[in-house]
Structure formats: structure tokens, C-alpha cells
Amino acid sequence: MRIIRTTLLLSFLFMLVLGCSKPQTPEVKNFSKPHTLRPFSMNESVTPDLAGGKESHVRKPEPLTLAELRAKYSSTFLLHGPPAPKRIALTFDDVPDDYFTPLILDTLKQLHVKATFFVVGNRAESHPDIVRRMINEGHIIGNHSYSHANLPKIVDSAFRDEVLRTEDIIKKITGKTMLFIRPPYGNVSEDQIKWIASKHMKIINWNVDSLDWKGLSADQVKANIMSNISSGAIVLQHGAGGVGEDLTGTIEALPSMVAELRAQNIELVTIPELLHKPAYR
């Protein structure tokens, strides 16, 4: 029994040694050999071209993300000001309407706060008196497009029209040519940034979002702002509603929020003050 077991073990070991020392097959050797190619030339009459165009033409590289665009165009595309001195800027978008905007202006007046309003051109056309009131009360205005279009989704000519038409309307109402623009939804393409830069305008987005467009309570609006605030912050709020939008929380949050910021020795300033840049041409 013992002899049989030993013989079997020895045969197994012998086979194993044979297997390991087996020479490599010629196919494996050939595989590592470099192929010799004919010189590059395409006979187009034999190989039909791609009907939809070359891959490199049709499959354009993915556009940069907003974060990458901000980094690439940091002198044109801004989200906040310098961290010192201790200052922040309140901004109100989508203005004017004839209900919420006057209430916000009343509240800011009582609090002695100057803010920055981003106006929608077609709303400014409907309420020019409220735009004039903003300027007369020391606030700053910037361009928020003519119809609140999602700019990267529209063609070049329509994009320029959105900006220039609003510029003309505001020039007629106030005599001023705005140098700040906030793209609706914060969305803008690389080509649009280049065009805005060529006009010496600045894109002003934000780094603190109140999310007030969700119809939040005053406490929720205030918590969203105060929990994210830091010196140099640009705060996004809304100063006019669309159909069914309620900005009561935005207005009611202002007095206690401003008091709290001032208790922390944080000054409330406009965008041109925060950034040390001119607001108008």
C-alpha cells in the first residue's frame, strides 16, 4: 500500500516538473513580434467614408463644468469677494415685480442696508419706476438677461440679444450701463463668458444660497444663509416672484439676520464695494 502511494506521488511530481519546463509555444513568441504595416494611405474608393462625418468632428469634447469655468476665468467669473475686511453682499434676483420688490426696498430702507439687484429686462420694462427707486435709494443693479433664459441652451445671437436688450432698457430708464451680469440659474457657457469678458463685464454668481425660491419660512431662509456665511460672501436671494412664488420668508428674515450679522461686526455692502470694481460704465 505504502509503495503504491509513494509511486503515485513520484509520478505526480515528475509530471509537474515536465509541465513547468515545457518550452514556450511558437505562437506566443510570434505574438510579441512587431507587425510590419504598409505605409499609411487610404484608398477612398475602396473604403467608404463615414456618412455622419468624422468622429473627431461630431463628438466634440465635453464642455467644461461651471466649477472648471470659474477656475479658468477667475477674473471675469466671481462667486465671492476677498475675506477681509469683514463684509458680505446681499443680492436679490429676478426683479422687479410690483409686490415683493417694493416690500424688500421698504425693509432695506428701514435697516439702512444697500444691496445689489439683478434685473430681468422684460420686468424692468413693465416696472421702470421700481428700477428708478432702486437707484434713487442707493442700491446697485446688474443684468439678469431679458427673459430669464437658460443661456447655454440658446444660440449666440439670442444670448447677445438677452444681454444687450436689457442693457438698452436700463440705459433708457436710469442712464446707466451695467457692468455686472448674473446669468439666470447661474448657467453660462465658455463662449458666452469670453464674450462677456470682451465687453469688460463681470459675471457675479454667489457662494451662499438662501434657497428662498422654494417658498421657505423666514427661519429656514435665515438658517440657510447664516449657517454658510463667511467674510466676503455673496448671498443669493430673490426680490420678485413668479406665478405662485412666495418670498414672504425672504422679507421677514431680513431684520433679525441683519441684526445678527452686525452683531458679528460684519458690514453689509453692495457688489462693487465688496469687489472694489465699478458697477457702471
93 catalytic residue (yes or no): yes
Contact between 93 and Zn ion by CB under 5 A: the answer reads yes
- Identify whether 238 is a catalytic site residue: yes
Cell of 248: 414672504
Work out how close the CB of 162 gets to Zn ion at its nearest, in angstroms, rounded to a whole number. 12
Instruction: Single out the residue of 96, 184, 232, 239 in contact with Zn ion (rule: CB under 5 A).
Output: 184
Which one of the spans 21-29, 44-52, 93-101, 206-214 is the region binding Zn ion (CB under 5 A)?
Answer: 93-101
Part of the chain binding Zn ion (CB under 5 A), chosen from 35-43, 94-102, 218-226, 229-237: 94-102
**Grid cell digits, residue 127:** 416696472
Within residues 99-158, the interface with Zn ion by CB under 5 A covers none
97 binds Zn ion (CB under 5 A): no
Instruction: Report the DSSP pairing between strands 202-204 and 234-238.
Output: unpaired
Is 162 a residue that touches Zn ion (CB under 5 A)? Answer: no
CA atoms within 13 A on the CB side of 93: 24
Determine the longest span between alpha carbons in the chain, in angstroms: 112
Q: How far is the CB of 101 from Zn ion (least distance, A)?
A: 13
CB of 182 to Zn ion, least distance (A): 7
Catalytic pick from 80, 93, 144, 148? 93
Which residue's Cβ lies closest to Zn ion? 93
Q: Is 212 in the site for Zn ion (CB under 5 A)?
A: no
Q: Which residue has the cell 416696472?
A: 127
Q: Which of 127, 129, 238, 246 is catalytic?
A: 238
According to CB under 5 A, which residues from 7 to 46 bind Zn ion?
none
Closest distance of CB 62 from Zn ion, Å: 26
**Least distance between Zn ion and beta carbon 216 (Å):** 16
**Contact status, residue 154 vs residue 65, Cβ threshold 8 Å:** no
**Smaller CB separation from Zn ion, 87 or 237:** 237
Q: Contact positions toward Zn ion, by CB under 5 A? A: 93-94, 184
The residues annotated with a catalytic role in the active site are 93, 238
